[in-house]
Amino acid sequence: MKSARQARIKEIIETEIIETQEELAASLRAHHIAVTQATVSRDIKELMLIKIPTGDGRYRYAFPKDNKPFFSKDRMERMFHDSVTSVDYSENIIVLKTLPGTANAVASTIDGASWPEIIGTLAGDDNILVVVKPKEAAPAIADKMKTMFK
């Protein structure tokens, strides 16, 4: 179901000018796919859709040209400041607590940073597990993350 819905989103984005999540949801419904705004929002994040200018002062959804997640230190710091509520660690696992619904976006910025000590992330709704190697690096990485959300 999810893969079919996201395939349809890809078709819609490539053939229609979609400016808002509501327009995307309406287009999906017109194609007989029942969705909620929350589902559309998650799909947009998972598909890494971006907004590009249409040339007339408006913006539309599109796919990034290079298919690589966008990363900037400023974006990561804003994301941490706006979403992360705590950082703690044990051994080689760092646990980040976030505001509800923001963990996936924060985890994506961590993944996009490509820190060599971070093997990967696992995000829920409001928690992120960050796996660090070697485990001796965990305190320094946790401290670095703590400075970004204050």
* pLDDT per residue as tens digits for the range 102-129: 898 899 889 888 899 999 999 999 999 9
Rounded Cα distance between 133 and 92, Å, is: 7
Q: Is the dihedral of CA 73, 116, 143, 132 positive or negative?
A: positive
pLDDT in tens, 51-87: 888 888 889 999 877 555 556 788 888 889 999 999 9
- Give the other-Cβ count within 10 Å of 144's Cβ: 14
pLDDT of residue 113: 87
Show the DSSP H helices in the chain as ranges.
Answer: 2-15, 21-30, 37-46, 73-83, 103-113, 138-149
Class of the CATH domain delimited by 2-62: mainly alpha
* Cα–Cα distance, 3 to 15 (Å, whole number): 18
Cβ atoms of 13 and 28 within 8 Å: the answer is no
Helices (H), 47-96: 73-83
For the chain, give every domain's residue range.
Answer: 2-62, 73-149
User: Given this model, what pLDDT does residue 11 score?
Assistant: 94
Give the three-state DSSP class for 116: coil
In the CATH hierarchy, which fold is given to the domain comprising 73-149? Gyrase A; domain 2 (3.30.1360)
Residues 6 or more apart whose Cβ sits within 8 Å of residue 129: 93, 94, 95, 121, 122, 123
On average, the pLDDT of the chain sits at: 90
DSSP lists the bridge partners of residue 51 as 61
Length of the chain counted residue by residue? 150
